[in-house]
Amino acid sequence: MPTHPPEPFRIKMVEPIKLIPREQRHSALIGAGYNLFRMNAEDIFIDLLTDSGTGAMSQEQWSALMLGDESYAGSRSFNRLARTMEEIFGFKYFIPTHQGRAAENILCAILLKEGQSIPSNTHFDTTDANIRARKGRPVNLVVDSAYDPTDKSPFKGNMDLVKLENFISQTGAAKIPFGMLTITNNAGGGQPVSLNNIKSVSAIYRKHNIPFFIDACRYAENSYFIKLREPGYLDISTREIAREIFALADGATMSAKKDGNVNIGGFLAMNDGDLFLRAGNELILREGFLTYGGLAGRDLDAIAVGLKESLEEEYLSYRLAQTEYLANKLNEIGIPIMNPPGGHAVYIDAKAFLPHIPQHQYPAQALSIELYLEGGIRSVEIGSVMFAYPDPETKDMIYPSLELVRLAIPRRVYTQSHLDFVVETLTKIATRKDNIHGLKIIEAPELLRHFTAWFKPLES
């Protein structure tokens, strides 16, 4: 029997949630065009759509909000965040942004030109789309084990170094304005990247003079995985590991809505002074002044505290164990998932669970709809709705290797009984899984279609 760790906190404020009747859930789904992003949160019982901006802030963060200095320029809040940034990341410069995609947009605006390529282990949706929006090419070079949900390797987020070397020599470094690495690898099951791999990626990018930017959304979870799984790091603090990681990079983008444990915020950090000037001008044009980005002073204070708290090892050990608890329970009842589990989420392998639904009928979307219908649980599809794109030349659809349903666990929000309810719901769905049908897309935009597409269920 998997055990659930006692939460290292107690609950001081509660937010009611309720499971509305099945007929109402069905009508709500129809109204939302079978797109869970279009649903009203009040119609959701357990919301595992994302761990982004959905965490519970600590009493220290709420207190920090009250210290927010709302001066337009040079606020105390900015200076407090700058001190935390220096302690954890150590980059020479940073600009606050309202969230991760704003940092990605600025980076692409100042560095990426049409026809150029950006390699990474796997770009997440907004990074991928920001590159495509500027007519660049996002290239995913993760190790092959990432595509095998049954492979139990400890660092399935690693970049494949041979693929990276080959890609650079075939493309030419001049056509790669910067290279990335996402820690942990959200699109590939939330899998961590080893420090050894980060060192090698950094060495390869540096050898070719390609600036190296880390997508740092879940840097604390990744650092703790390194501590637990990589030989030689057990006695090194997670904070020191994080320092070591970022010393290998030229900059980072981050959505602080993840391991900053805030409801809004992000940043773009770098060591290059010229880049900082250009990024700053772009920030002022679109987001806000250099010392607040698109945020209020109080948001900066909450991030400053949250970034430090997310590195606390007692918290991280609970966080990873909670995810593992859900994963172990699903393994026990035979639901195919991405193993080993990542830090922030459990990913169900919808291709294996619903083998009768072909990729063009979106098996992971179909399963996420069933999770809502059966138990009012909101999850997210990470498969062909999110990542299938037409080939630029042939226009044939290129489908991703994985069809996943991500059960993202918001930080410090749900308890063991909520997770047990998720397991019970999946147990029920498993008994009638052969009767689940796929869907078709009725209407969708070209980029980031999963957010707003309209679907129709296919009948047998």
Please name every residue paired with 22 in a beta bridge, in sequence order, or none if there are none.
none
On whether the CB atoms of residues 104 and 213 are closer than 8 A, the answer is no
Q: Considering only residues 33, 68, 100, 189, which one is a binding residue for ligand PLP as defined by CB under 6 A?
A: 100
Binding to ligand PLP by CB under 6 A, coded x per residue (else -) over 373-412, reads ----------------------------------------
Single-letter amino acid, residue 348: I
- Six-digit token pair at 439? 């869907």
The minimum distance between CB 435 and ligand PLP, in angstroms, equals: 32
Stretch that binds ligand PLP, among 82-90, 93-101, 352-360, 411-419 (CB under 6 A): 93-101
Instruction: Write the CB contacts of 355 (distance below 8 Å, at least 6 apart in sequence).
Output: none
Q: Considering only residues 61, 84, 223, 255, which one is a binding residue for ligand PLP as defined by CB under 6 A?
A: 255
Stretch that binds ligand PLP, among 121-129, 150-158, 268-276, 351-359 (CB under 6 A): 121-129
- For ligand PLP, the binding residues in 213-232 under the rule CB under 6 A are 215, 217
Q: Considering only residues 29, 45, 49, 52, which one is a binding residue for ligand PLP as defined by CB under 6 A?
A: 52
**DSSP 8-state code for residue 42:** G
- Regarding 124 and contact with ligand PLP (CB under 6 A), the answer is yes
Q: Which lies closer to ligand PLP via its Cβ, residue 145 or residue 182? A: 182
- Six-digit token pair at 340? 């080993």
Stretch that binds ligand PLP, among 119-127, 150-158, 162-170, 235-243 (CB under 6 A): 119-127
Q: Considering only residues 105, 116, 126, 194, which one is a binding residue for ligand PLP as defined by CB under 6 A?
A: 126
Q: Which lies closer to ligand PLP via its Cβ, residue 52 or residue 145? A: 52
On whether the CB atoms of residues 89 and 246 are closer than 8 A, the answer is yes
Nearest to 194 by CA among 165, 223, 162: 223
Q: Considering only residues 132, 137, 257, 450, which one is a binding residue for ligand PLP as defined by CB under 6 A?
A: 257
Nearest to 77 by CA among 304, 311, 310, 309: 304
On whether the CB atoms of residues 53 and 257 are closer than 8 A, the answer is yes
- For ligand PLP, the binding residues in 258-297 under the rule CB under 6 A are 266
On whether the CB atoms of residues 183 and 219 are closer than 8 A, the answer is yes
Nearest to 228 by CA among 330, 321, 163, 297: 321
- Six-digit token pair at 339? 């193993």
- Six-digit token pair at 288? 């806000």
Q: Which residues bind ligand PLP (CB under 6 A)?
A: 52, 99-101, 124, 126-127, 182, 186, 215, 217, 255, 257, 266
